[in-house]
Amino acid sequence: MQLRLTAKENFTHEKKITIAIGGSKSESNRLLILQALFPNICIKNLSTSDDTQLLQQALRSQEHIIDIQHAGTAMRFLTAFFAIQEGKETVLTGSKRMLQRPIKPLVDTLNNLGANITYANQEGFPPLKIIGQKLTKNVVAIDANMSSQYISALLLIAPKLKNGLTLNLTNKPTSLPYILMTIELLRAIGVQVTVQDDYSSIVVAPFSESLHSTHFTVAPDWSSASYFYSLIALSPIGSKLCLEGFQKNSIQGDKAVVDLYKNFGVETTFKEKYIEIKKEALPTFTKIELDLNKTPDIAQTIAVTCLGLNISCTLKGLHTLKIKETDRLVALKNELEKFGAQVSTTQDSLNLESVPITTTKAISIKTYNDHRMAMAFAPLALKTPIVIEDSKVVSKSFPNFWEAIQNSGIHIVSE
């Protein structure tokens, strides 16, 4: 379904508008794996995203073949989870794009620990045939620059291994906050985790004691909040929105939007039960360079914000975007250039030479089966009419996105 987006006439963000954003997909998916390993855990405010629902279904399923469709986190986490389910045989598969996304580093690491995982088709890629084993080896190395999800998948099962796990990380970790989120959740239930200062090694002790924490309430999703930061950045000075439930002490790495969007004149005020984000000033620069190695999921949002503000940008640390739902660097280049911008990419960076948006004709945005492409471009409707193709793709992480964005000042019509 296509949606046509335009700015609402005479809409003002000066009145109080409150938006509710669902629970974090990243927190939810980690907690679901921990709950499957430690059934006493209770979880509230689970994400309603497709990815989280697919993971729940997979964990409940008694089927031999598990299809997780586009859910990349589920693929990585379940590969490790099923590897330790003794005697259980599982074939783990997914969508056409999922079968193109590499998983060899994780499979190799698990097999080095004694797992029995083979490829059902092409080596290095799903589908995977997994025969659950009791893993007794406890020291292994993995390249930490490939995907933080590989690291988290291993850490989540580590307390259930007979001898725990010493995970030696080669190279600088990518998306480090997601690894730290996993560690914080393990510690919250009482697992002893020791981390070297330079993140060269993480040691997880085996855990068989009673849980310290058994009740978890998933916090709202900071990645989803980023689209509203972009919307306020593209709004007139004085515009503001309130986002329910966000707290300063979040373990989510994408809380970095608070500081990143100060660059674009957006200030955040933390209240007891919500945050207020407000456009306080116009940017005084014409070009910005940012390293998003720790927060690659908000790269698309920032690129579109820069386009809307006619700010050139160089965004670095983006190598993981090549293996997401689509090649996000290629997708961004294709869609940003429709507005007249000049875009170049490398394996891990994007350079945008921006131009003023002068067109009044609606530009059609392809989403490439990628929820973040749809949501990142939506705020640009404040500057020029746009059409979002395959709009339902947002259900992967934020099913109520279009309702929320419409309440924030954008007029939406189905086409």
Residue numbers annotated as active site? 297
Q: Where are the beta strands (DSSP E) in 159-311?
A: 165-170, 193-195, 201-204, 215-217, 240-244, 266-270, 274-279, 287-291
Other CB atoms within 10 Å distance of the CB of residue 196: 11
Tokens of residue 52, six digits: 């989280």
C-alpha span between 70 and 61 (Å, rounded): 18
Q: What does the DSSP assignment read for 247-285?
A: -TT---GGGGHHHHGGGGTEEEEE-SSEEEEEE------
**What span, in angstroms and rounded, lies between the C-alpha atoms of 264 and 351?**
18
DSSP letter (8 states) at residue 322: G
SS3 220: strand
Cis amide leading into 127 (omega within 30): yes
Cα 310 to its chain centre, rounded Å, is 26
Distance between CA atoms of 230 and 361, rounded to whole angstroms?
A: 22
Distance CA 393, CA 1 (A): 9
Distance between CA atoms of 323 and 181, rounded to whole angstroms?
Answer: 22
Mapping DSSP to helix (H, G, I), strand (E, B) and coil, where does residue 396 land? Answer: helix
**Angle (CA) 90 94 98, round 5°:** 125
Residues 41, 42, 44, 46, CA torsion sign: positive
The Cβ of residue 270 has, within 10 Å, a number of other Cβ atoms equal to 12
For the chain, what is the largest distance between any 2 Cα atoms, rounded to a whole number of angstroms? 65
User: Hey, is 195 helix, strand or coil?
Assistant: strand
- 3 state DSSP class of 335: helix
| Bridge-based pairing state of the strands 89-93 and 128-131 | antiparallel
In DSSP terms, 351 is beta-bridged to: 314, 344
In the three-class reduction of DSSP (H, G, I as helix; E, B as strand; rest coil), residue 202 is classed as strand
